[in-house]
Amino acid sequence: MSGLGLRLTSSSAARCSSAVLRFQLRPRGSRSIHKRKTLPYPIEGGLGNFLPPEALKVVAVDYQEGLLKRLDEEVRGSPEAVEDIAQTVLNTACSKERTLAFNYASLALNNDYFLNQLMPLPTEGSLKNHQNEISAHLATNIREQYGTLIQLKSAFSSAVMGMFTSGSVWFVTDRSGRLGIIPTFGPGTLLFRSRMYMGQPDVRGPSLGQLEPTVPYVHAHIGRPRKARQQPYILVRRLLFPLFCISVNEHAWMAAGYGVWGKEAWLKEFWTVLDWKKVSQAYERISPGIKVSIDKVD
């Protein structure tokens, strides 16, 4: 699920004038039961100290299959029984009567994306992470917008540690190569935003649900060039692409053996298994060769 285009559009459905992100959907199938998708690495090998084998099984198998089973029960006999999960999120997002279907589908979508942006370390060698796979293009724009990779990690980790509910934190970009950090809460997803509050509130403007359909905005924490960092929150417009995310759910760090208060220690291990090669490839497809300078960021 790398390189997922997220287009902000307006919904024509009744009472659904909220901003919508159009997702690059997988082809529809004829199946009546949603199946867990195979990960690009063996579950029995685990993901280092971040998600050891048993913990990875909890997150990738037990939790994911539980979501899909409950989704099947909710959509049985409806058109969504044979729909792609992403399409189910779109179909149910504006219906109060379909809240459970939306929640299960959205959570499954987020969890799948989260796991697919990770990769175990090689069993041989002294590598402690995949940072050597960061492309020169992405590295340049990280330095330009955040200062250093350490500062990017700090900003992202602060967003994760600042979440006192479950959800996800996303690292995103737009066509101009600008990078951003966006939290979503509960079943919130970057696919459809009418059910969630995202980012830091702008007390001067309308809430997300009140925005004019022709001017869809999303609040995001954006890396700015150094001289512009006094305003860490700006508005990203029209088109966003996720590069990676982390699932902020207590069952993950509990299953990994970090205990109730082990979120911070668990989060540090995330950077050891993040697949920077996949992240860099996605970034190159979205904004090939574009260097974000101070003059380009408004």
List, in order of start, the domains of the chain with CATH numbers.
24-116 (no CATH), 131-296 (3.55.40.20)
Amino acid, res. 149: L
Question: CA geometry: angle at 223 spanning 240 and 227, to 5°?
Answer: 140
Residue 5 has what pLDDT? 43
Residue 54 has what pLDDT? 97
Residue 290 has what pLDDT? 67
Asked whether the whole model's pTM tops 0.95, one would answer no
Residue 134 has what pLDDT? 97
Q: How many CB atoms lie within 10 A of CB 243?
A: 24
Asked whether the CA dihedral 26, 31, 33, 38 is positive or negative, the reply is negative
Q: How many helices (H) and strands (E) does the chain have?
A: 9, 7
Quote the CA–CA distance of 19 and 66 in Å, as a whole number.
30
Residue 139 has what pLDDT? 96
Is 20:8 a contact under the CB 8 Å cutoff? yes
Three-state SS at 165: coil
Tokens for 292, please give them: 């974000």
φ and ψ of 161, to 5 deg:
-70, -25
Q: Which residues contact 68 (CB under 8 A, 6 or more apart)?
A: 33, 34, 35, 36, 104, 108
* R_g of the chain, CA atoms, integer Å: 19
Quote the CA–CA distance of 50 and 269 in Å, as a whole number.
5
Residue 223 has what pLDDT? 43
Q: Which residues contact 97 (CB under 8 A, 6 or more apart)?
A: none
Distances (CA, A) of 138 to 8, 203, 254, 285: 24, 33, 33, 11
Residue 36 has what pLDDT? 84
Quote the CA–CA distance of 32 and 237 in Å, as a whole number.
37
**How high is the mean pLDDT in each 10-residue block of the chain (298 residues)?**
40 37 38 77 96 97 92 83 80 80 89 96 83 96 96 97 93 92 86 39 26 28 41 46 94 96 97 97 87 47
Residue 169 has what pLDDT? 95
